[in-house]
Structures are given as C-alpha cells and as structure tokens.
A and B are shown apart, each in its own frame.
Chain A
Amino acid sequence: MPVPHTASAPEATTDRALRTFLHGLPGVDEVGARARAQDLSTRSIKTTAKAQAIDLAISMIDLTTLEGADTPGKVRSLCTKAALPDPSDRTVPGVGAVCVYPDMVPTAVEALRGTGIGVASVATAFPAGRAPLSVKIADTAAAVADGASEIDMVIDRGAFLAGDYLKVHEEIVAVKEACGDAHLKVILETGELVTYDNVRRASHLAMRAGADFIKTSTGKISPAATPPVVLVMLEAVRDHFAETGRRVGVKPAGGIRTTKDAIRNLVLVNETAGPAWLTPDLFRIGASSLLNDLLMQRTRLTTGTYPGPDYYTLD
C-alpha cells in the first residue's frame, strides 16, 4: 500500500528532517478517532471467539509489579503465577513476560528459569525519565546484564513537547544500542502527550529510532491506554509496516483491568493493524489485576460457574 505521507522519511536524521517528517504526517481528528474506537468497542465477542480471545490475552500479558514497596518475595510469587496462572487448570497458557524494576531483574530471572517466560525491565529512570542519558544507558545496560530480555524505556516527554525531536530520537537510538539483543519497548506516556496528533508523531518517531514495540503508558499517569490512543498507535504500526516492511509491536498499559477491556483491545488490533499483530510477539498488554479477571471468565466459559475472587491467587 503506497503511503506517500510517511514514505518521505529522510535518510539523514537531522532535527530539521525529523520535524519535516513528523509534521508532515496526516492529522488525527479527535472526534472521529474516538467515534471509531467507540464503534469497535460494541463488537460482541461470544462463546468460541471469547474462549480464543481469553487465552490469547493471557499469553499477551506483561504481568507487572512496579511499586516502590516491591520485595523479592513479591516478585517470586508473581513469577510463579506468570508461569502457571491457574494451578487448578494446566491448560491455561503462561503470560507473555514479567515486568519489574531493574533491581528485581535477577530475582525474576532466577524464578522464571526454565519456564520460557522472559523478564521485561523498565529502565531509563522510569517513570519520569528525568535523568542524564548516561544514567539511562547504565540503567538499561545493568538490566540487560542481569538477564532482562525486554527493556521498557520512557521517552523524554519534555523534549518531545518542546519540539526537540532529535533529542528524543537520539536517546532511543542510544538505549536501543545498550539493549543489545534485548527487545526495546518505547513508552510514549500518551497521557502527557495529550493530543492524538502527538501520539501519532511520537509513535513514528519511536519506530524510526528503532523501537521493537511502542507502549502507551507507564501506568503512573492517567489517562493511560484509552481505546482511541491504542487505535492511533495501531494505525501507526500499520502504516510503518506499509512503508518499511517492518512490523513493530504495540503494548497498551494502564487501566486495562477486565476481560471486556482486553477483548476490546484485541478487536482494535484485529480490525486496525490486522490479524498478523494478534501474537504476543507483536501485541502485549501491561497489567496486573487483569489476569485474575481473565481466569475467572475462562473458568466461567469452561465450567459454566463463576467462582468468586477468593479462588484466584492475589499474586
């Protein structure tokens, strides 16, 4: 599909070239984007489709704990749950990854050894990103050295909002380099970017700088992964693929708590970026309490009864 608007990506990355590229992207009409997201939220996913969606959603979860109060014990128990979400039903798939702060990476790596589940670490002075680049790189390198296979970095929203796109770009490039083989997810913190035009521009900026995933939010700012934001990001990865042939993943995070929320996200993926994105390699959901709701709905579908929350482990 020819996409002249985005196909004019510049060879050399200069501030002027980046600005020309990002400001040349087509605008997003806010009312229209909201209306489309709302329209897709009315899709009715039942029976076999629901069962398929629940298992897919479970396999896409980045099971997350990002609290100042996190302890090794808490991280270990989260890892146990990640590998075996429902001890009473071994047909439940494991989650996509466990997401922790950098200092918890060794604990998580140890706890997940042999399960095939990776460890994602937030880095780059998460969540504010207000640290010198050298610190961000060191933060990233330490997490990778400790065994993190995925890095969730934050962009410098201040620089982005000030129009210093080159700074944002260079930071992403530097962090990507520090990642080595680890996959890089770039958090846009859309709640601070505010407009959908900014979300589209930041998405393309991150993808051009080498992001493997673009992620909505840190989970520390509200609003987070709203459906129209996810829609605009999915349009961005679709367009980037049309232009470059490279598929970049999307990770909504923050505020996705119920099975209904998760399924709505899968419908957005299916009808925007397309079915090729319906894999944990290209779509993740950053969440913690979502997993138990998915498990409850799964039990309800398979057994016909709806067990109470006490039948599911807290972490």
Chain B
Amino acid sequence: MIFEYAPAPESRSVVTLRESYGLFIDGEFTPAESGEHLTSLNPADETKLAQVAVAGPADVDRAVAAARRAHDTVWSRMSGAERGKYLFRIARIIQERSRELAVLESLDNGKPIKETRDVDLPLVAAHFFYYAGWADKLAHAGLGPAPRSLGVAAQVIPWNFPLLMLAWKIAPALATGNTVVLKPAETTPLTALVFAEICQEADLPPGVVNILTGEGGTGRTLVEHPDVDKVAFTGSTEVGRQIARAVAGTDKRLTLELGGKGANIVYDDAAIDQAVEGIVSGIFFNQGHVCCAGSRLLVQESIVDELMPRLKERVAKLRLGDPLDKNTDIGAINSAAQLERIRDLVDSGEAEGAERWSPACDLPENGYWFAPTIFTGVGQAHRVAREEIFGPVLSVLTFRTPEEAVGKANNTPYGLSAGVWTEKGSRMLWTAERLRAGVVWSNTFNKFDPTSPFGGYKESGYGREGGRHGLEAYVG
C-alpha cells in the first residue's frame, strides 16, 4: 500500500517580522544614512519577507566607532566571569526563542525546518554556552598567562548557515573581550537582526555587537576599515582572496574559512547501509550548501555496482518541498544566482561527458529548486570534480587501492573536509593520516560540535574556529 505523509507544516505564526529593519549600531536600530535598502526573499516561493537597510561607508564608520568605544571602555575591561554571564544569558534566550529562530531561518534561507530545528539552532546555543564557559578561563587555555583581546573584529558571514556562522564568529570574539561588527549575507540577514534584538534583551552593553546588513560593498568597506583589528570571513574562495589582498600589509589579523571539494572515501569493507546514509547526508544536507560537503564520492571499484543502486534507491526517497514541512529533507536553493551557478556547473558536467542522474522528483513551480543529482563516470579533469558546486550535486569517482584513494582525495586546491568509511581501524588511521583536510570524519559525515576545531588547508582558508583553537584567533 502507499503510505502518503500528509502535509505537516510548522506554523509560521511564531515569527513576527517587521516590514523593514535598520542597522544595529551601538545597541540601537538606526536607518542607513543613504536610505538604501534591499529586500530579503523567501527562496521557497519568492515572496518578500522584509526590507533591510544597506550600510554605506558612513554607517560602517559609526559601527566601528561604537565597537571601539565599547571595547576600550567596557567590554575588554570587564572580568571574564562577567562577560561569561552575558554569553550564558544570550545562549539561554536563543534556546527560549529557538522555535521562532528556526522558522525564520527556514523562511529566509530555504533550508528544511527539520535541519534548523534539530541542527542549526541546537548548535547555535551550544556555541554560545561553550564559549561562555571559556570567558573566565582564558588564562588556562594555553594561550599565555593573560591573553588580551585584539579590539574590534570585522566579521563577514555567508548565507548557508546564517545564524550558526554568526555564532561561530561572535561567541569566541565576545568571550575573549573583543567587540564585533558583523555583516550577514545579503540574502539571509533576518536571523542576525533578531539576534540583535536578543542582545538588547540580554542587556548587552551598547556597541559590543553591531550588525550591518548590506551587499558585497558593505562587506568590503567593513574589512578595509582602518580601525578594525581583526577580520574573520567565511564564504567563497574568490572573495577570500580579495580580502586577503585588502588586509595584506596592515596589522589586521585574518582568518578565512572558504570553499571545499570534500572527498568521501568508501572502502569495500564499509558498513554499507550506514555509508549510504553518510554519502546522502554528506552532499544533500542543507541542499549541499555546505563548504565541507562530501561532494566527491570516491568508491572502491569492487563495490561500485553494489553501492550505486543502493545509493540511488535511497536518494529517490528524499522528500523535496516546502521547507516548513517537518517531513521535508531537501529545501529550496537559497537564491536565483546560486541556482544559476548550480545549473551552469551541472550543464558542464553533462557537456564534458559525465552521466547525470536524478530521481523522479516534482519541483515546486515558484521559488528556486534543484533536484538531487548524481554524476557517475566522472573523471578528475571534469569541472564537476574540481569546482565547488555548492548544491545538491554529487560526483562519483572510483579508485582501486588506498594509495589511489588518498591521491585523488588530495588532488584538489581545497582541503576542508573528508570522510572515510571502513570497518578496519588500521586502514582508517592510515587514510586519515594522509588526507590533507582540516576535518576528517570517520564513518560519519557533517558532524559538528562547538568543542571541535574546524578549518581548512590550502585554498579552503586558514585559522581554526571552534574549540580551544577558536580562541586563538581572537587574542594577542
């Protein structure tokens, strides 16, 4: 019999959106001096959610000045225990408002509510709790007897995990006594603005956190601002390069967390059903909008005929549709521009001779959607094997020996993540030792924890976020 799951939409009534939002500077919402604004859309149906201000140079000046004042007069002078109290308070408010934030994140980003509810929001709160705990223990972090804050941190974050990336940036900065000016991505500014409200609710001293919405130009002005001490960026390798050039020759400290083309290596003795799950979550989690996605599947040739039918059968069961439906596995692509980029790369894959497959899958009429896609017969030279697609597109390559697996996995300008699937401990260790990637997952994929450092090799960036290592980027 056919067991059809009836629609199970999460209510959007928990979210109250204002028609328009100003910039959050010095503890207050204020209009942009230029009066410019942009509109944030719901990518699932292209409806307008809210207008947000576009910060210009004058606004960046105001925000950096506010952050400087807050740093010099209040935040860096406050005891770690006191700073910790604010961070704990923020973490608790996030938990209390997690349903609202999860729904808003799904609306603004297009990712399924299942993920915002069960992954994003619990991790956001966990990050604040974790770094709140460090605030009064910095002398014991192995960073010298009295680590000192750097000053004002300019932070620019991407649209794939809007609130989680905010947490990765703001929590360690605040715990170490820095103040921040943060620019959320232009397509996903809304949860950052609710976070600004949470800072008010937590009575965070004005100027400690400033949120400037805007486009690429706002971000550029911010990271180039002369009174910024530290720049932290997560996003594309291309923009990362521009930032590195802009910061070169200044005293600014820089961390970059950029793109990836993660290899997911499946050996012939892997626990095959769990490996299939790991391949699916590795590339289809968050529509593949994950810098550490396992976008290159490397399968040992001897099991490829066994694995691929199982993988396809499993992918055919993924439920694509309304991000607010609790049973949705795959939501919307975040923007028209990203959808265009995915289409372009997928077309190139076909043109270059790889075999494209997608399950039968009805795409909604409005909004930005892309069916889960698998390329087989992919060679190392194909664009779909080399370039970051940042979408629900998996490229399958094969290997014969462990040496070949490692060689292919490392043969990329990136080095952010990798996964290894084998039931043999010695082979797991042998492989992990040789992979040049910041994170190597053993018989799992896309697992995150605030205690665990995260970052890349080569063009995936430098510096580490998360864990004790994450403190290092914010102390001098």
Collect the chain A residues with CB atoms within 8 Å of residue B5's CB. Answer: 43-45, 49
Summed over the interface, the residue pairs from A and B with CB atoms below 8 Å come to a total of 84
CA distance in complex: A176, B34 (Å): 83
Which residues from chain B contact A35 at a C-beta distance below 8 Å?
277, 444
Contact in complex: A44, B8 (CB < 8 Å): yes
- Nearest residue (CB) in A for B4 is A49
Chain A residues within an 8 Å CB radius of B310? 1
Point out the residues of chain B lying under 8 angstroms from A275, CB to CB.
Answer: 1-3
Task: State how many angstroms separate the Cβ of B310 from the closest Cβ of chain A.
Answer: 7
Contacts of B1 in A (CB 8 A): 56, 275, 278-279
| A270 CB contacts on chain B under 8 angstroms | 3
B327 at interface by CB-CB < 8 Å = yes
In the complex, which residues of chain A have a beta carbon less than 8 angstroms from the beta carbon of B305? 2, 4
Evaluate whether A36 and B306 lie within 8 angstroms (CB atoms) in the complex, with A31-B444, A275-B1, A279-B1 already known.
Answer: no
1-48 of chain B: CB within 8 A of chain A: 1-8
B327 contacts which of A2, A43, A48 (Cβ < 8 Å)? A43
Interface centre among B7, B306, B326 (most CB of A within 10 A): B306
Q: Write out the residue numbers on chain B whose beta carbons fall within 8 Å of the beta carbon of A5.
A: 272, 306
Q: How many residues of A contact B (CB 8 A)?
A: 33
Question: For residue B118, which residue of chain A has the nearest CB?
Answer: A42
Is chain A's interface secondary structure helix, strand, loop, or mixed overall? helix
Contact with A along B244-276 (1 / 0, CB 8 A): 000000000000000000000000011111100
CA distance A47 to B326 in the complex (A): 14
Q: Chain A: which residue is nearest B1 at the CB level? A: A278
A3 partner, pick from B7, B8, B271, B306, beta carbons under 8 A:
B306
Contact size class for B?
A: 20 to 34
Bound state CA distance, A233 and B277, in angstroms?
17
Within 8 A of B (CB), among A24-65: 26-29, 31-33, 35-36, 42-50, 52-53, 56
B56 within 8 A of partner (CB):
no
Cα A45 to Cα B310 with chains together (Å):
26
A44 touches B326 (CB 8 A): yes
Q: Collect the chain A residues with CB atoms within 8 Å of residue B114's CB.
A: 42
Q: Which residue of B lies closest to A5 (CB)?
A: B306
Other A-B pairs beyond A27-B271, A48-B4, 14, CB < 8 Å:
A1-B310, A4-B305, A26-B271, A27-B269, A27-B270, A28-B273, A32-B277, A33-B274, A42-B118, A45-B6, A47-B6, A49-B6, A270-B3, A278-B1
> Which residues of A come within 8 Å of B, CB atoms?
1-5, 26-29, 31-33, 35-36, 42-50, 52-53, 56, 235, 266, 270-271, 275, 278-279
